[in-house]
Copies of this chain bind each other. A is one copy, B any other.
Amino acid sequence: MSEPIAIDDAGDPRLAAYRDVRERDLVGRQGRFIVEGEVTLRMLLSPGARFAVESVLLAPERWPGLSDLLGGAGPPVYLAGKPVMSAIAGFPIHRGVLAVGVRGAEPGPEALIPPAPAPALLLGLVGLTNHDNVGGLFRNAAAFGADAVLLDAEACDPLYRKAIRVSAGAALTVPFARAASGAALLDLAERHALTPLALTPGGDETLGALEPPARALLLLGTEGPGLPNALMARARRVRIAMAPGFDSLNVATAGAIALHHLAASRSARSARDGLASFPDGEGE
């Protein structure tokens, strides 16, 4: 088992990737990203994770609890006291757990769409620039087993530090890809036999009454302006029934409600098909 490497000097060049974390959040990291905290580190190193780990930086007291995860042929582990960690990162590090991940080549969206006629559930995010909302939507996508998240060019980076944290690490496991625009997402839906569902307070049908399509692309826009009309014209427009006078839900919350409906109905249909004695795999 490789041993952790003690670091005493905040200027040590081996920790260059951890320097000035917040400033680099803004300018980017040349193909790398930062993970904070034990929960997300465990996700980063889990069998389902998609990213290589360049290194891990721990406060020495965190090593015993994490050595099971980090021993063997894993990435180098640096140990530095919290004052040194904080001096490097440029802000107080309370939890004593940081890591640098490597983005690697990003897949194209086509690669993430299960081929027809298999069931498919994809989430399409249009213009969502808020890290909390994008992080929350990854968490919800993971909870309900969405196949992937597709983002337009404006949507923020799911590997931004705060988005990873809010996602409870799901940004590290749920596959995602960029399309050039919302229109490009609709084009993908057409080419891959996905029913585009636009979630909007002005929808023509309620979510509760919607029989979920076997292959769906659920489209979400920003809380204020919502999805562009040109996109909604090419989709089934679905609304969440709400109390009169207060049609306001957080976009990540609205997405969770819709994903739950689409995923739960999918399981229910599988169970029903099973009862009707369809041979495996021919139930759809």
Contact = CB atoms under 8 A, between A and B. Distances in A.
Contacts of A247: 143
Contact of A241 (B170, B240, B250, B267): B267
A273 B48 CA distance: 48
Contact of A144 (B243, B252, B256, B263): B243
A136 B250 contact: yes
A65 interface: no
A237 interface: no
A260 interface: yes
Interface string A237-277: 00011111111111011001100100111011000000000
Contacts of A260: 207-208, 240-241, 257
Nearest to A167: B248
A140 interface: yes
A246 B208 contact: no
Interface string A46-88: 0010000000000000000000000000000000000000000
A170 B48 CA distance: 39
A215 interface: no
Interface string A189-211: 00000000000000000111000
A178 interface: no
Interface string A212-242: 0000000000000000000000000000111
A143 B248 CA distance: 6
A142 interface: yes
A253 B142 contact: no
A188 interface: no
B249 A256 contact: yes
Which are the 10 A-B pairs with shortest beta-carbon distances? A145-B243, A208-B264, A142-B246, A253-B256, A143-B242, A257-B260, A143-B249, A168-B248, A253-B253, A257-B257
18 contacts: A48-B245, A139-B249, A139-B250, A139-B253, A143-B243, A143-B248, A145-B243, A145-B244, A168-B248, A207-B260, A208-B268, A241-B260, A241-B263, A241-B264, A241-B267, A243-B263, A256-B257, A257-B260
